[in-house]
Amino acid sequence: MVNEMLRPSARSDARPEAAATPRFIVPVLASGGLVAAVMQTIVVPLIPSLPNLLDAAPTDATWVITATLLAGSVATPVAGRLGDMFGKRRMMLISLGLLVVGAVFSALSSSLALMVVGRVLQGAGSGAIPLGISLMKDILPAEKQGSAIAFMSSTMGTGAAIGLPASALVAEHLDWHVLFWGAAAIGLLALIAVAVTVPESGLRPGGRFDVFGMLGLAVWLTALLLVISKGNAWGWTSAPILGLAGVVAVVVPVWVLYELRRSGPLVDLRTTMRRPVLVTNLASVMIGFSMYASVMILPQLLQAPTSTGFGLGQSMLAAGLCMAPSGLVMLVASPLSARLSAARGARTTLMVGAGVLAAAFGTASFLMHATWQVVLVGTVTGLGVALAYAAMPTLIMQNVPLGETAAANGLNTLMRSLGTSLSSAVMAVLLADAFLTDGGGALPSGLGAFRLAYVVAAVAAATGALLCLLLPRRTD
């Protein structure tokens, strides 16, 4: 059955018939992206409790997060390439299936090992988002693509905004396994909806899959992400970290040479090095860094006890609800980003989005003394993320061949993931510089740590905006 699903079909450059694209195809595809985003965030409120829930050491429990990150980072570009070769709808169904199976594994788990297996499977299904975006490019009329892609892109933030309060509610009042049963249910619904509603793209060049390219990518990318995510815990000068850094230094040049010499590479580096694609991916790293900074900073500030002198004393659920407006504004802003891109070009939209992020973080240091102020900062950052994330896939697909859109979008999603991983490591260092112990946990010792974190996030977003100046105006 699996071999049948992945059998290459004859080359076809024809688009599906318009009759095969009902008006609800956009929300159906977006629901798949929403499920993938929710799966990534539902475990966040459980992080402090994972050692007790899984009877594991705190350092071991972090693999619940790290495993998902590693699997998603490797699987996303691979799923994109397989989608270009064998059918994007087919690979999206497989990705959603992995999300569902992974959620079931996690729901049945009572040990760290089984939970990690489930989270690896969920990470492997992360390719649903770039695959959905590329499907929209292939099967929708040109006049509907901008708004549809913007809406799909917004699901990445909206899923987090929905997942955080929902998982916090369950974590506070129900058994934590319910989180994953619920995730499996919505994932199954999305899978059925895509299977029934979405036609397959006719743009499938076929070809052979680059197995050695995949293995090389998995090796150096896993080593790099372990350096970023585990550097703080293991020590930046420890033997494992230095060894992994050495693996990256050796494998990356060999992998690059191999990919450049192969006729059908996993990652078309020549296309990737085109200025519009390269600059967009670099900007994506910076914007992904800034976006995740808000996820790291705002909940800590909201939940810190008032006895610290800076905390706002909100419960886990209240803090999650305070983050919800950020996701809602992403949905509202998606049509705005599409109109701005149509009028001024995706280059301008990306620059404006990064500028809004930089302005939000730049002023956040003065808006830390009341809950409404933190909500305002989160809402404005949500607007910036919505504009920027909607523009990225448009810029990528304007500058790659039609037969490579899913792989290119997968690589762009990987760049955002690298930004979020780097942000997680950097923010952990910044907020750990001056910790104090208050009752049951460690907390940043003052507003200075938050202000420094905000400044770093603002600089990253401003760098993303400046990078946009390198994009050629012909992409507008």
State mean pLDDT over 76-81.
85
User: CATH top-level class for 268-476?
Assistant: mainly alpha
Quick: pLDDT tens for 15-40. Answer: 444 434 447 788 888 888 888 888 87
Q: Diameter of the chain by CA atoms?
A: 67
Quick: pLDDT tens for 222-232. Answer: 898 888 878 87
Q: Give the pLDDT band (50/70/90) at residue 7.
A: very low
Q: For residue 94, how far is the Cα from the chain centroid?
A: 18
Q: Give the pLDDT band (50/70/90) at residue 97.
A: very high
Strands (E) in 176-233, as ranges, are none
CA distance 446 to 449: 6
Tokens of 17: 């018939």
CA distance 29 to 393: 15
Query: What stretch of H or E contains 438?
Result: strand 435-438
Tokens of 388: 């920027």
CA distance 416 to 339: 23
Averaged pLDDT of the chain: 81
Quick: pLDDT tens for 98-140. Answer: 999 999 999 998 888 899 999 999 988 888 888 888 888 888 8
Between residues 180 and 47, the one the model is more confident about? 180
Tokens of 337: 């980003």
Do 307 and 439 touch, CB atoms closer than 8 A?
Answer: no
Q: What are 443's strand-pairing partners? A: 436
- Residue 336 pLDDT greater than 90, yes or no: no
Q: Give the pLDDT band (50/70/90) at residue 207.
A: low
- The CATH homologous superfamily to which domain 1-208 belongs is MFS general substrate transporter like domains (1.20.1250.20)
> 248-255: which pairs have CB atoms within 8 A and are 24 or more residues apart?
248/220, 248/223, 248/224, 251/216, 251/219, 251/220, 251/223, 252/220, 254/216, 255/213, 255/216, 255/217, 255/220
Would you state the pLDDT for residue 103?
93
pTM of the model: 0.80
- Residue 3 pLDDT greater than 60, yes or no: no
- Residue 267 pLDDT greater than 50, yes or no: yes
Q: How many degrees, rounded to 5, is the angle at CA 340 between CA 353 and CA 330?
A: 50
Phi, psi dihedrals of residue 435, rounded to the nearest 5°: -90, 150
| Positions of CATH 1.20.1250.20 in the chain | 1-208, 268-476
Please name the residues in contact with 57: beta carbons below 8 A apart, sequence gap of 6 or more. Answer: 51
Would you state the pLDDT for residue 446?
62
